[in-house]
Amino acid sequence: MSKSNDPAIFWDEKFDRTDYRYGTEPNRFVADVLPGLVDDGARVLCVGDGEGRNGVWCAGQGFDTTSLEPSAVGIKKIEALAADRDVDISTIHDKMPSEQVDDEYFDALVLTYVHAPEPMRKEIHGASIKALKPGGVVVLEAFTPAQRRNGRTSGGPPDEALMFSAELLRHDFEGLDFEVLSEETVQLDEGDGHRGPADVVRMIARK
């Protein structure tokens, strides 16, 4: 795997800064919908949790939260943010699929802006489905190809082939029940990494 395709190396470089690239507050879609989808104390896995903004927030809501992140720098920042907020969180320094993630264990999975090339993307999404208990739910937000076509400067990979459409997600998560699957234009305010108008796809899908 080349350096450009190794998520650990790529994100180590992105996260090697004193502040938090995407801020320390949770993704707004996740914060708005997750509490209404699962019970108190639910087991939540935040996949590709970056610097921990979603995972630490989930832990602060009383969820039994695990943050999975391939970047060692990201893991350190997740643990520092959890300590600062005085919440308990488990961390896994790995990428999906991970042998440290049990099948049918989690009540919810959170994936925000976990973009990857097609083979890796399918592995991530397939492993995410396996990690869910029956009745468990995936909450996902990501950029659509319109982000590049519209010349947005609010973040995302440079190649629109790495972005997701609703149709693509319907195929990747086939067999789940889609409660929400929509392409929208939203206003992001997530650190200096995601700021401004953005073309995104939002998904809630239940196993």
DSSP state of 52: S
Neighbours of 120 (CB within 10 A): 17
pTM of the complete model: 0.94
Residue 113 CB partners (closer than 8 Å, separation 6+): 48, 141, 142, 143, 155, 156, 194
Task: Give the number of domains in the chain.
Answer: 1
Q: Is-contact 88 122, C-beta < 8 A? A: no
The mean pLDDT of 40-69, rounded to a whole number, is 97
Quote the CA–CA distance of 18 and 201 in Å, as a whole number.
30
**165-191 tens-digit pLDDT:** 999 999 999 999 999 999 999 999 988
C-alpha distance across the termini of the chain, in Å: 32
* Residue 8 backbone phi and psi in degrees, to 5: -65, -50
Residue whose tokens read 């925000």: 112
Cα 169 to chain centroid, rounded: 14
DSSP state of 164: -
* Residue 46 backbone phi and psi in degrees, to 5: -100, 110
**159-171 tens-digit pLDDT:** 999 999 999 999 9
pLDDT at 11 over 80: no
DSSP 8-58: HHHHHHHH-SSS-TT-SSPPHHHHHHGGGTS-TT-EEEEET-TTSHHHHHH
Quote the CA–CA distance of 155 and 87 in Å, as a whole number.
29
Neighbours of 13 (CB within 10 A): 12
pLDDT at 5 over 80: no
Q: Residue 2: its pLDDT value, please?
A: 37
Neighbours of 53 (CB within 10 A): 27
Cα 3 to chain centroid, rounded: 22
Q: Is-contact 32 12, C-beta < 8 A? A: no
Q: Assign residue 42 the CATH number of its domain.
A: 3.40.50.150
Q: The domain containing residue 170 runs over which residues?
A: 3-206
Q: Residue 18: its pLDDT value, please?
A: 82
pLDDT at 17 over 80: no
Least confident stretch, 5-14, 71-80, 87-96: 5-14
Residue 23 CB partners (closer than 8 Å, separation 6+): 53, 189, 190, 191, 193
What is the side-by-side strand order in the sheet with 64-69? 90-93, 64-69, 43-47, 106-112, 132-143, 194-206, 177-190
Q: Residue 193: its pLDDT value, please?
A: 87
